[in-house]
A and B are shown apart, each in its own frame.
Chain A
Amino acid sequence: MMHPAGFFIVLIIYFLATLSFSFRLVFNQRSLTALALRITLVGFVLHLIFLVVHLISQGYPFLISRFDALQLTSLTIVFVFLLLCFFYKFSMTGIVILPVALVFYVVSLTLQADYRNLSAVLQNPWAFAHLLLIFMSLALFMVSFVVGILYLAAESRIKQKITGGFFERFPSLETLDRIHYRGLYIAFVFYTLGIFAGAGWSKSSLGVYVTNDLKELLSIGIWAFFALFLNLRVPQGWIGRKGIVLSSIGFLGLILLVVWNT
């Protein structure tokens, strides 16, 4: 089945927003930031409407196609970005974060939106809760990771005493580090709930909470890693670069898990 035309409109809007952020960088016109943000907001609202309409038209169970899952991830990334722009001087990072959302978006468009031959396993409310929470946490981990990369780049410039240009319009190192940490924290909460939902799903369909499946063990391993990291960050002084590099290990594990699962 073709994707509804609305999704292509949103694609164009997100693309325009990214373009406006790039122009802001090149031409240094402040008014372009407000314009880019407005375009992003319009894109987000339309995206939300189209996705909800799409999900309702597909009917229960929700979110079980890869199209839906990646759409949700992309939507959440844009939402988190807008939220951060509201609280921090964060809009310039749109030039990096929006393309990430776009990648998920474009990949989703290459996938089938409908799903026949549903297995009974997926027709389970636990499955919906699990997928919703896990893909939202993935989006949050993603934003946190990108902010971490920005931190590393900005920090190395300050260390190398290179000034001016692109990076001076980003938030301070302290702010980036804070966003990275808080992003991880909230992502972790979603991830934890998602794992619980997954266990519930497993119990109701297979009769056990945890199986010996390697993927399940890996996901619990990643959970344990982040649980330790978030608790030890301050006492161990994993602030700034060290913490970001360490957390990236967990993040890569997460990516491995997602790729493995899809």
Chain B
Amino acid sequence: MTYLVVGLNHKTAPVDVREKLNFSREEIPQALRVLLAQTRADEGLILSTCNRVEVYTVQEQTGDGVEKVRHFLTRYHRMEDTALDSCCYHYTDREAVRHLFRVASSLDSMVVGEPQITGQVKQAYRQALASKTSGIYLNRCLERALFVSKKIREETRIGEKNVSVGSAAVRLAKQIFADLKNKKVLLIGAGKIGELVVFYLEEEGCQDIFIVNRSYEKALELAEEGVGIPVPFDNLRTILEEADLVISSVAVETPLISRQQMDALMEMRKNRPIFLIDLGVPRNIEPAVGQLDNVYLYNIDDLNQISRSHQEERIVSSRQAEEIIEKEVLRFFESMVGHEPVLSLLGKKFESIRRRELARTLGKLGHLNDEEKQAIDKCTESIVNKILYDPAVSLKLGKVSGLSISTGDFLKRLFRLDDEE
């Protein structure tokens, strides 16, 4: 039996291609059925997220499996056969398993360590189970992948630090303030990074967000996009008295806030703490402002620095994670050795019995329509899979207590599998 994965992700395909190939949650059961029918694979699973579309299959021999899966993808989405030539990747066996482990552990993600992907893999697995397209081989592999992902999360610091400038700012804000939800945020100027920081703050539950811009129209525009409440530039001082978090990114010749002004402001504020983020180049806020009591001033370089140090920590963590994955892939295949032939022989035997009996029964029941025939087919298939589940587990464990021979040998004798060979 061979594991195969065919797919594309954010590194290999632009968003417009990924968009077209996306499977909605509702259509996956149907797509899984089509996949198995078209590719003649024994088992199949579809993982479709905004950053990747991947099809995992298990089949007797790879052969033209890659081509078949690719055709399935293009045909299903009504695309040209050659549309995916340049952006598709595929892995088989050991590489396929390693790839799944890496994906589930978020090592292959756009933001390494982001936790959503594990949930998405779990979801895809659940759908395949529900559609009965995941059998003993995929089950084992997926269970292991989820286990590895949990292990990596526990043993490394991979998920601990977010790397973008926006999240670095939020992290700092959380070290200063107890609860960001009731804090007033002021955005001065309309820059992309400023908006990004505000976006992260909104995610944390910040609600009172004010926008001040030289051009009031621009502030209004942003407000219309739902970024915050526009305030005229002349009211900057008043709003600075109220705000707890200030993000500034304006093009100015001289600093917008001097130390002297801030000193006076702090007196008005009764020394209430304020977090200033200066994203402007040249700087919007005099660096000496940061020396004042209860004023925390960070500029774009400081945030970049933090972001970089987090990235470095992540690299160390991902190295540890890669090591864990290598070990787990090895362990996974070691546990398969010796059992695989028995399992596949057993599977083949059951499958041939099933096909034979199915053909016989369907022959007798000539009046059935296609849908009914398919239902019976699925039903028998799932019976076989369910019967095979426990032997597969026992094989993995190696020995059933009370038996003097290994489970594999026992099963071989019990089902006369040697005759089949």
Contacts and interface: CB of A to CB of B under 8 A. Distances in A.
Contacts of B305: 161
- Of A29, A164, A235, A241, chain B has the most CB atoms within 10 Å of the CB of A164
B301 to A, nearest CB: 10
B172 interface: yes
A106 to B, nearest CB: 33
B270 A237 contact: yes
B196 to A, nearest CB: 19
Contacts of B175: 154, 158, 167-168, 172-173
Contact of A173 (B271, B273, B306): B273
Nearest to A164: B309
- The interface centre, meaning the residue of B171, B269, B273, B290 with most chain A CB atoms within 10 A of its CB, is B273
Interface string B152-175: 001001000000000000011011
State the majority secondary structure of interface residues on A.
Answer: loop
Given A161-B302, A161-B305, A173 B313 contact: no
B172 A240 contact: no
Nearest to B267: A237
Contacts of A163: 171-172, 306, 309
Contacts of A43: none
B272 interface: yes
Interface stretch (B19-27, B83-91, B93-101, B291-299): B291-299
A138 B349 CA distance: 79
A29 B155 CA distance: 8
Interface string B323-349: 000000000000000000000000000
Interface in A128-186: 154, 158-159, 161, 163-164, 167-168, 171-175, 178
A239 B270 contact: yes
B176 interface: yes
A175 B174 CA distance: 10
B309 A172 contact: no
B410 interface: no
B309 A161 contact: no
B350 interface: no
27 contacts: A29-B154, A154-B175, A158-B175, A158-B176, A161-B302, A161-B305, A161-B306, A163-B309, A164-B310, A167-B175, A168-B175, A172-B176, A172-B178, A173-B176, A173-B177, A174-B176, A174-B178, A237-B266, A237-B267, A237-B269, A237-B270, A237-B272, A238-B271, A239-B270, A239-B272, A240-B273, A241-B294
Interface of A: 28-29, 154, 158-159, 161, 163-164, 167-168, 171-175, 178, 234-235, 237-242
Instruction: Give 3 closest A-B pairs by Cβ, nearest first.
Output: A237-B271, A174-B178, A175-B178
